[in-house]
Chain A
Amino acid sequence: MSGRSFMITHAKSIYGSVPLIGWLVGMLLAVLTESFFGNTLAYALYLPKVPALFGLTIVLKQPSLFPATVFYVLLIYCLPIFAVAGLTATWANRFAAAMEKLPLWFSAIIHIGVLYLVLHLWTDLSDYRLQISKLTMIAVMLTLSINVINGYMGEFSCSHPGFMALGAYASSTFSLALFHQDRLFGTPLLPEFLGPYMFPMGLLLGGAAASLGAMVVAIPSFRTRGDYLAIISLAFMFIVKSVLENLEVVGGARGMGGQPHWATLPAVFIGMTVCIGVINNFVNSTMGKALNAVRDNEAAAEAMTVNTRRTKMTAFMFGAFWAGVAGGFYAHELRYINPSSFGIQMLAEILAMVYFGGLNSVVGSVVGALSIQMLSEALRPLELFKWIIIPLLLILVMIFRPTGLIAFREFNIRKTFGPKVLKKRI
């Protein structure tokens, strides 16, 4: 056995058995180290400030800082994460095994809580990180919701920007008309301090508006599918955009601005976790299997007592609901929306994320949204060439893995949170 492969086997034997909680604790320690020593270390290494996105942006902007950045990332992130994960593997496994005996919600709360702490500490250091994280989480919700229609049900729906616009406008109208002073609706009807508590209502309203809009696409889908449905959904997107441009009540083509700043990190994080949980449960339910049946063979599904009409309707409305919620978050995060931002450009981005990550898979959607968002931030210094590199990457992914990177994989929450036992390889 050569030295190199021995190293790899050795690393596998240690890190293959680290459960998720071990990695999370390692990450927690890493971000704690960064919040205490990050600035000091950055000054010591002659970095202008703490590298915002693991040094991804610095590498292209100022290549001379590359060695210092790599050193910083190794010292601040890699060392604590790998040290903690490796050293506490046994303890973490015992803890995970103990939690497995308790109800699932308990370990879910612990994992999600630690993840939130990590994210909170990490984004505390720079507003740039905060903005990117929130937009990425919104993108995760969007990608998941389009995966329900395009991946699980197998329709090529182009209407997602439209659903998102409906959600964004409905929830913005809700919060501006009721709780916030602005130029379109004037004095609010209710006192403003109630607003943040009623924000979930506004999001639900946005989701409901998008679901209602989805019926316009869902009803023609009873009679046709494939390309004609793609056109119908595309027409729907153009119609929504055009209606919003002509509605002077919501600002017309000038858009709608000044939404209150309610899309805070905890709000978006809770939205995303609920979205992932609900969509994962949905696609693993009987209805989710019915979606797959409709996709693979509609006639056979009908023969097997699947109510195809109800299935299609549910899928469209469910996917649109989450797109609407994501739209509500999007509006309250950017605090300005106008109809032209929900156009072909956004459609191309959403489609890129879902097809990059993988159809028919919750993990794939998360990975797709995360990687496309991170890539587009990391390549920002390249300006124009960013839009050559990302499409090229996507073409390569499509050629070598036509359904996306992590397609057709079930996401088992219990297994993900549970302890990891390394399989002995002989």
Chain B
Amino acid sequence: MEFFLQNVINALQWGSFYALIALGYSMVYSILMLFNFTHGDIFMTGAYIGFGVATALLILTASLALPGWLLLIVTIIISMILTSFLGIIVERVGYRPLRDAPRASAAITGLMIGIILETGNLAVLGAQRLSFPALIETVTYDLGGVYFTNKKILIVGVSLLMMLMLHAFIRKSRWGMAMRAMSYDYQVVPLMGVSLNIIAPMTFAIGSALAAAAGILYGMAYPVLDPYMGILLGWKSFVAAILGGRGSILGAALAGFMLGFIEIFTAMIFPSTFRDLIAYSIILLILTFRPYGFFGQPYSTQLRL
């Protein structure tokens, strides 16, 4: 039982990374019907920006001896803002010129921008792996045989908070309403006075900010950064975004957590080399019998060739 609960906590932590990244995919998808394949690498860049900001803050405020949690909050906020600019640039360079092109072409552009980000990172920072500065002390709690650290609580808590804030933003604010309108039809809604050239960059910016938050949280949990860390996590979150249903925010978050649970529990029951095999077989089965995801609308799309 303790073992089970322990894995539930691990799965919650692992799933919150997937969920946060999948949200970015899902938001862009719901508005532009395009997948932002750069997203995994934006997550990676976000983690590196977080590393830079945290290191700079530690050096600048060394004499003040500020508490760690304050530094962490400031780091997350600054990195989210900086990374959202990256998202806006990606939209401007890679996606706006291709808005009317076949969707696969935009996917290729996204992939290529991702490769440029990875290689650029490697060229600028070199091949050595950086370790994320530990801003807060790790405290381990023991609850009847189940061990968890304050970092795990923080990661799950912060990601849930981000999702709630996003939900509130999309449901309650005027901008959120514009985004929801845009996701119905991005060709007609601009006629009502909502500019696609504002909403689309905004979507990218919000998605990238969430990815940056995920990157910093990831850096706290697994403090080794390398330029290729975004690839696998990004693709898997993409799977989660699809599994959740076409452009459904709630679905993406749920599917992200579900993917985390599937992966952790397969590793618990079977040898860990079987993790991908079983996780993807389950996904294949789900999509074979429910081809439009959990919350998606069943209608067929075609490549606009």
Contacts and interface: CB of A to CB of B under 8 A. Distances in A.
Contact of A242 (B113, B118, B277, B293): B277
Contacts of A245: 273
B305 A403 contact: yes
Contacts of B275: 242
A296 interface: yes
Interface stretch (A4-12, A98-106, A193-201, A388-396): A388-396
B138 interface: no
Contacts of A232: 284, 287-288
Contacts of B94: 395
Contacts of A154: 302-303, 305
Interface in B79-106: 93-94, 97-98, 101-106
B273 A236 contact: no
Contacts of B128: none
Contact of B301 (A225, A238, A359, A392): A225
A355 B105 contact: yes
A384 B123 CA distance: 7
Contact of A234 (B29, B239, B301): B239
B277 A384 contact: no
A228 B286 CA distance: 11
A225 B122 CA distance: 36
A351 interface: yes
Contacts of A235: 239, 280-281, 283-284, 287
A227 B242 contact: yes
A370 to B, nearest CB: 18
Contacts of B221: none
A402 B231 contact: no
B284 A388 contact: no
A219 B287 CA distance: 11
B98 A399 contact: yes
Interface string B234-277: 01001100110010000000000000000000000000011111
B86 to A, nearest CB: 16
A384 to B, nearest CB: 5
A239 B239 CA distance: 13
Interface in A327-343: none
A239 B281 contact: yes
Contact of A241 (B115, B276, B284, B288): B276
B112 A395 contact: yes
A402 B116 contact: no
Interface residues of A, number: 50
Interface string A147-174: 0001000111000000000000000000
A394 B112 contact: yes
A387 interface: yes
Contact of A391 (B116, B301, B302): B116
Given A227-B242, A355-B105, A403-B102, A246 B274 contact: yes
Contacts of A344: 231-232, 235
Given A224-B287, A231-B238, A391-B112, 19 more contacts: A219-B288, A228-B292, A231-B239, A235-B239, A236-B280, A239-B280, A243-B277, A295-B305, A298-B302, A348-B111, A355-B104, A355-B108, A385-B123, A388-B123, A391-B119, A394-B109, A398-B105, A398-B106, A403-B105
30 contacts: A154-B305, A155-B303, A220-B288, A223-B288, A224-B300, A225-B300, A226-B302, A226-B303, A227-B29, A227-B246, A231-B287, A232-B287, A234-B238, A238-B280, A239-B281, A242-B273, A242-B275, A295-B303, A344-B232, A348-B115, A387-B115, A387-B119, A394-B109, A395-B94, A398-B109, A399-B98, A402-B101, A402-B102, A402-B105, A403-B305
Interface of B: 29, 35, 93-94, 97-98, 101-109, 111-113, 115-116, 118-120, 122-123, 231-232, 235, 238-239, 242-243, 246, 273-277, 280-281, 283-284, 287-288, 291-293, 300-303, 305
**Those 3 A-B pairs whose CB atoms lie nearest each other, nearest first:** A402-B101, A224-B291, A391-B112
